[in-house]
Amino acid sequence: MSNITFYVPEIKNAGAYVDDRGHYAGGYGWRGDRSLSNIRKIIVHHTVTNPTGNARKDVDYVYQIHHGSRGWGGIGYHFLITSEEKNGFAIVHEVGDIGSIRAHAINAKGLFGLPKDAGNVYFLGISIVGRFDQGAMPTKAQLRSLHYLIKELVEKEDARLPNLKSWSDVIGHKDVDYTACPGDWTKMKPLIQNFTEKAPDPVYVITQESTQLYKGTDQAKATDVYNKATTPGTTVKMTKDGKEVKSKTIPAIKYEIRFEEHSGNTGTILWTGTNETNAKKTFETATGDGAKAGIYRLMKDDKEIDKREVFIEPVNVVQYAVELNGELKSVTAGETEEQAKTRYANLKKDAQKGLHGENALVTLISANQTVDKYGNSKQWMDLIDYYSKSYDDTIQKIEANYDEVMSNPLVRLALSISKLLKKK
């Protein structure tokens, strides 16, 4: 059996060349060997099978037809150009050793001075997966692989294939046998032979930090996206086919909150940062309740964007406090409203019981303003004694402090008992 090493560098380097001779039966031959100098023509075929997009499935299907259905010893061709693409090439499977006689073209027309019906001894068979007798043409990737494969055979293997001299030795199956294979060969052959390896358009990528802003082949659009990328504090890069072309770093916007006294003697930077939202929020806080008197400026890259003046320094007051006879009784200045009111209620009860002496005064204060107060009502309990001793004195006390007297339940009880309320 023939075992001749052969490959196409361009296709192999693209990872698209598969030596399948040992994968299927008959890969190294089942009909005998022939001298490479006997090879006179390259015959191009089509498989008349549906492309699957999977190289292995494409080849398996042809093997099933040739070996399984027709009973041949292996696949009838030397090479199969599959429908699967890799790095721009259609994957090529070498399914028959080039030194072996296959079963693909018999030369029924007896051409080229070669024996009739003995074509397989003199022909090398390449078949393209697909059907091309109804107007379709091979894919660009298939044309690329065909071009490089045939070029290697007719232009670079002179020593081993002396009788394959040029592209004129590349023919379609229909040229030697009575068949429509491989389709419109008059149109197909120039596409294969004249295939030009146009360099793919370069791919431009614009990134801003970790965000991809653009990816494509339009250089003008890529440049426009690059120029319009102006987010402060970021780096923008343009690459061409993975290589950096240019980059720019956009300075971050600097925000500051500056303070100076009205006298102009002291200037201080209270805050710096790059986030506009944080800058404005901090500025509101700095100029809010409790702010020190002076001039506050919000700066953006050393340009003033807001200015506020505070003229009156708020006094740190006890928000809620309780006093007993003018003495602060809160545990700490600024206790909560609930704490203060509870303390006030407790002191008020004690005052009512006379635990803080006569004429005790309990006061609830908020922001230096009296919210509520209570005077010890024990001073009015004497009215009951006064009634039995001095009627005139009692009347005089009531009239002088009528509203306060009448708000005290003990006094109202005394007046009710003495019927002074009716007299009033």
Query: Residue 33 is encoded by which pair of tokens?
Result: 């060997």
pLDDT (0 to 100) of residue 328 = 73
Collect all residues with Cβ–Cβ distance below 8 Å to 413 and sequence separation of at least 6: none
What's the CA gap between 44 and 125, in Å, rounded?
A: 6
pLDDT (0 to 100) of residue 332 = 46
Indicate if the pLDDT at residue 366 is higher than 60: yes
One DSSP character per residue, 284-307 reads HHHTSTTPPSEEEEEEETTEEEEE
With CA atoms as reference, report the closest residue to 104 among 4, 191, 181.
Answer: 181
With CA atoms as reference, report the closest residue to 311 among 296, 327, 328.
Answer: 296
CA 337 to chain centre: 50
Alpha-carbon dihedral sign for residues 116, 117, 118, 119 = positive
pLDDT one-digit tens code per residue, 144-178 = 999 999 999 999 999 999 999 999 999 999 999 99
Alpha-carbon dihedral sign for residues 175, 178, 181, 183 = positive
The count of other CB atoms within 10 Å of the CB of residue 117 is 12
CA 43 to chain centre: 52
Instruction: Convert 370-403 to b/e letters by CB count within 10 Å (16 or more is b).
Output: ebeebbbbbebeebbebbeeeeeebeebbeeeee
Indicate if the pLDDT at residue 33 is higher than 80: yes
Indicate if the pLDDT at residue 34 is higher than 90: yes
Confidence of residue 53 (pLDDT cuts 50, 70, 90): very high
Q: What is the mean pLDDT of residues 402-407?
A: 56
Indicate if the pLDDT at residue 365 is higher than 60: yes
pLDDT (0 to 100) of residue 262 = 79
∠ CA 112-117-120, rounded to 5°: 80
pLDDT one-digit tens code per residue, 258-307 = 999 877 766 899 999 988 999 999 999 999 887 888 899 999 998 999 99
Alpha-carbon dihedral sign for residues 371, 381, 357, 401 = positive
Confidence of residue 7 (pLDDT cuts 50, 70, 90): very high
Confidence of residue 364 (pLDDT cuts 50, 70, 90): confident
Parallel, antiparallel, or unpaired: how do β-strands 41-46 and 170-172 relate? Answer: parallel
Q: What are phi and psi of 26, to 5 degrees?
A: 75, 10
**Residue 325 near residue 277 (C-beta atoms within 8 A):** no
Alpha-helix residue ranges (DSSP H) falling in 28-139: 55-63, 119-122
Q: Is 26 exposed, middle or buried (0-12, 13-18, 19+ CB in 10 A)?
A: buried
Q: From residue 136, how far is each of 45, 237, 283, 401 by CA, in Å?
A: 14, 43, 71, 116
What's the CA gap between 129 and 46, in Å, rounded?
A: 6
What's the CA gap between 248 and 258, in Å, rounded?
A: 31
What's the CA gap between 113 and 407, in Å, rounded?
A: 139
What's the CA gap between 279 and 227, in Å, rounded?
A: 28
pLDDT one-digit tens code per residue, 100-128 = 999 999 999 999 999 999 999 999 999 99
For residue 248, give the 3-state DSSP assignment. strand
Confidence of residue 424 (pLDDT cuts 50, 70, 90): very low
What's the CA gap between 121 and 134, in Å, rounded?
A: 30
Selected residue with higher pLDDT from 420 and 280: 280
Q: What rounded mean pLDDT belongs to the chain?
A: 85
Task: Enter the DSSP assignment of 33.
Answer: B
What's the CA gap between 34 and 2, in Å, rounded?
A: 8
With CA atoms as reference, report the closest residue to 47 among 160, 150, 148, 132.
Answer: 132
Question: Which domains, from first to last, does the chain contain?
Answer: 9-193 (3.40.80.10), 204-250 (no CATH), 255-310 (no CATH), 320-375 (no CATH), 378-423 (no CATH)
pLDDT (0 to 100) of residue 170 = 98
Indicate if the pLDDT at residue 378 is higher than 50: no
Contacts by 206-214, CB closer than 8 A, 24 or more apart = 206/236, 206/237, 206/238, 207/236, 207/237, 207/239, 208/234, 208/235, 208/236, 209/234, 209/235
Alpha-carbon dihedral sign for residues 11, 16, 19, 24 = negative
Confidence of residue 408 (pLDDT cuts 50, 70, 90): low
